[in-house]
Each structure stands twice: as structure tokens, then as C-alpha cells.
Amino acid sequence: MPNEIKFCLPVGEYYFLSPLSAFPIKMVVDGQEYVFPTVEHYYQAMKFYANDSRFCNILKLENPDDARLLTKTPEYKVNRRTGFDDMKFDIMEQGLRAKFTQNQDAAKLLLTTGDAILVKSCAVCYKCGFGRGGNNRMGQMLMQIRDELKRAIH
């Protein structure tokens, strides 16, 4: 087992750690339950209120990276959920926790990482604070969730 596991690209043994990996999650948003195809869909959709057509447009996309790219367009950069930037780390953590608690296969895979340090390693996540340059927030979240799963087993 490696001491450090880097993940980012949509390929490879550890891609399951990425919020783009295809493990659906059920989440309650603005009082209603939705199923998101990936954590990335959830994170991007949360930039908007559920009654906003942009929220629904994100849910309809098959590719999670398309959801991320869509929110970079001019019409998706305005009139966002109030306080999203202050909540973005909490939103990602909620999505990741749902992924690994609602999907038994994902939880088993996360546990196979043992005690390795998990590192989100990509340029995009560096800029938004989730990757190594942003104190590896996503890796820290995943290691915390892994520890919670371990405690739940014992």
C-alpha cells in the first residue's frame, strides 16, 4: 500500500475517490429529495436554488465534467445561491460523505486505501482550494470519512 495516493484523472485505480466518479447520491435540497448522478453534479447544482432552471439543467447532464464546465459559462456565473462560496467546502463534504455512506461499493473501495494519505492532485482543484495547493481539503475530507467508516465497522 502506498503512503500517499494521488487522484484526479478520470482513469486509474483511485478514480473512485474523485467527486466525478459515478456513485449516485440522494440529497435533500431546499426541502425536496433529489438523486444526483455524482458528487460533482451535487456540488455544481448547489450553486443554485432548486427552483432555478440551471439546477435542473445540471442534473440532466450525463458527464459530471460537463456540469463543472457549464457553471463556468457567463449565464451560470450570476445570481447564484447566497453564500455558496462560504459553504462550498461543507457542500463538498456532505456530498462525499453521502457517496461513501450510501454506496457500499464506494465505502469498501475507500477502506482499501488503508492509512495512506489521500491527495487531490490537479490544477483545477488547486485553484478552488480542494487540491494540494488549497491544503488538500478534499483529501482531508476523504481521510476523515474513511476514519468514520473504520470506526463504524469496529
Q: pLDDT tens-digit profile of 35-91? A: 999 999 999 999 999 999 999 999 999 999 999 999 999 999 999 999 999 999 999
Judged against a pLDDT cut of 80, whether residue 33 lies above it is answered with yes
Mode of pairing for the β-strands spanning 25-29 and 32-36: antiparallel
pLDDT at 131 over 60: no
Task: Show the domains of the chain with their CATH numbers.
Answer: 4-153 (1.10.357.40)
What mean pLDDT comes out for the span 3-9? Answer: 85
Instruction: Show Cβ contacts of residue 97 under 8 Å, excluding neighbours closer than 6 positions.
Output: 141, 145, 148
Q: How far apart are CA 64 and CA 83, in angstroms?
A: 23
For the chain, the average pLDDT equals 91
Query: What's the pTM value of the predicted model, to 2 decimals?
Result: 0.92
